[in-house]
Amino acid sequence: MKKYIGTALLVFLVACGQGESEDNQEAASLAANSTNNPENSIEDEENVPANEEPTDVPDNALATTSLEIPADNRDTAADLIDEFVAEEITSDEYGDFYFEFTKPERMGEPVLLVTSDVNDVATALADFAESNSDSTSTQTVHVDQVAYSVSYLNNARDRIVDNYPAFFENESAFLGISVNVVANSLDIYARTVEEVNMDALEEAFGQTDFLTFSETPLGDMSEGEIPIPVEEPEYSGNIEEIDDTVILIDELIYLGTSEAIIVDSLGEITVDDLQLGDYVHTWTTGNIDASLPAGGSAVFIQRIDE
Q: What integer pLDDT is reported at residue 192 of this predicted model?
A: 96
Over 50: is that where the pLDDT of 289 sits? yes
Per-residue pLDDT tens over the stretch 209-228: 999 999 999 999 999 899 99
Pick the residue with more confidence: 23 or 160? 160
pLDDT tens per residue, range 94-110: 999 999 998 999 999 99
Per-residue pLDDT of 52-101, as tens digits, reads 334 567 777 899 999 999 999 999 999 999 999 999 999 999 999 999 99
Comparing 39 with 240, which gets the higher pLDDT? Answer: 240
Note every long-range contact of 45-54, with CB atoms under 8 Å and residues 24 or more positions apart, other chains counting. 45/123, 47/123, 47/126, 47/127, 47/130, 48/119, 48/122, 48/123, 48/126
Specify the pLDDT at position 25. 54
Mean pLDDT (the chain) is 86
pTM for this entry: 0.75
> In the chain, count of helices (H) and strands (E)?
8, 15
CATH topology of domain 235-304: OB fold (Dihydrolipoamide Acetyltransferase, E2P) (2.40.50)
Per-residue pLDDT tens digits for 267-285: 999 999 999 999 999 999 9
| Other Cβ atoms closer than 10 A to 106 | 19
Determine the Cα–Cα distance for residues 150 and 92; give it in Å rounded to an integer. Answer: 8
Question: Using CA of residue 223, residue 226, residue 228, residue 233, what is the dihedral sign?
Answer: negative
Q: Which of 196, 228, 244, 246 is nearest to 304 (CA)?
A: 228
Distance CA 157, CA 278 (A): 41
- Cα separation of 230 and 233, whole Å? 9
pLDDT the model gives residue 8: 33
In angstroms, the first-to-last Cα distance of the chain is 53
Q: What is the pLDDT of residue 30?
A: 53
Query: Could you tell me which of 218, 126, 124, 118 has the C-alpha nearest to residue 175?
Result: 218
* Adjacent-strand bridge partners of 99: 110
- On the question of pLDDT at 197 being above 90, the answer is yes
Examine the pLDDT at 168 and tell me if it is beyond 70. Answer: yes
Q: Where are the alpha helices (DSSP H) in the chain?
A: 3-8, 22-33, 38-41, 74-88, 118-132, 150-162, 164-167, 198-205
Question: What is the per-residue pLDDT for 27?
Answer: 58
Quote helix, strand, coil % in the chain, to nearest 5.
Answer: 30, 30, 40
Say if residues 121 and 143 touch (Cβ distance below 8 Å): yes
**Per-residue pLDDT at 15:** 38
Q: Encode 142-157: b = buried (16+ Cβ within 10 Å), e = exposed.
A: bbbbbebbbebbbebb
Rounded Cα distance, 278 and 304, in Å: 8
Question: In terms of Cα–Cα distance, which of 126, 122, 124 is closest to 113?
Answer: 122
